[in-house]
Amino acid sequence: QVRLVQSGAEVKKPGASVTVSCKGSEYTFTSYDINWVRQATGQRLEWMGWMNPNSGDTVYAQKFQGRVTMTRDTSISMAYMELRSLKSEDTAVYYCVRASRSEIRRRWFDPWGQGTLVTVSS
């Protein structure tokens, strides 16, 4: 069964950085893009960007450019999302999710990781 398992909850101070990890299993990790999506309390799902685990190429949402970096370690089927200069508004549940292998305009997201709560508080 294809699965994405994320790292545990984090508490950070404003201005700090956080790295969330996401381990893929039961599929060829390098064959599917990994996306990161977040949801602040009471807010909508917000797409942050995607990464091609084979090439390392990334596309980031404009809102997060300059503050987010998505990387991977293919030897252990792990994807990482680092968000820097944290603000209280970054308090959210962060999800990794696998994209389908179809052309981008046909793309869909499945499965999703279980989510990682990142709390930013002084």
Partner 1 sequence: QSVLTQPPSVSAAPGQKVTISCSGSSSNIGNNYVSWYQHLPGTAPKLLIYENNKRPSGIPDRFSASKSGTSATLDITGLQTGDEADYYCGTCLSAGWVFGGGTKLTVL
Judge whether 9 and 117 are in contact, CB under 8 Å: yes
Residue (3 or 87) nearer to partner 1, CB: 3
Q: Which residue has the tokens 């680092």?
A: 82
Which residues lie near partner 1 (CB under 8 A)?
A: 35, 37, 39, 44-47, 49-50, 59-62, 95, 97, 100, 102, 104-115
CB of 49 to partner 1, least distance (A): 7
- For 54, the token pair is 């084979």
Nearer Cβ to partner 1, position 29 or 64?
A: 64
Report, in Å, the least distance between residue 42 CB and partner 1: 10
Closest CA to 116 of 101, 94, 97: 94
Distance (Å) of CA 95 to CA 19, 75, 103: 12, 21, 22
Nearer to partner 1, 13 or 108 (CB): 108
- C-beta of 13 vs 90, nearer to partner 1: 90
Q: Measured from the CB of residue 13, what is the shortest distance to partner 1 in angstroms?
A: 26
Q: What phi and psi values does residue 93 have, to the nearest 5 degrees? A: -95, 130
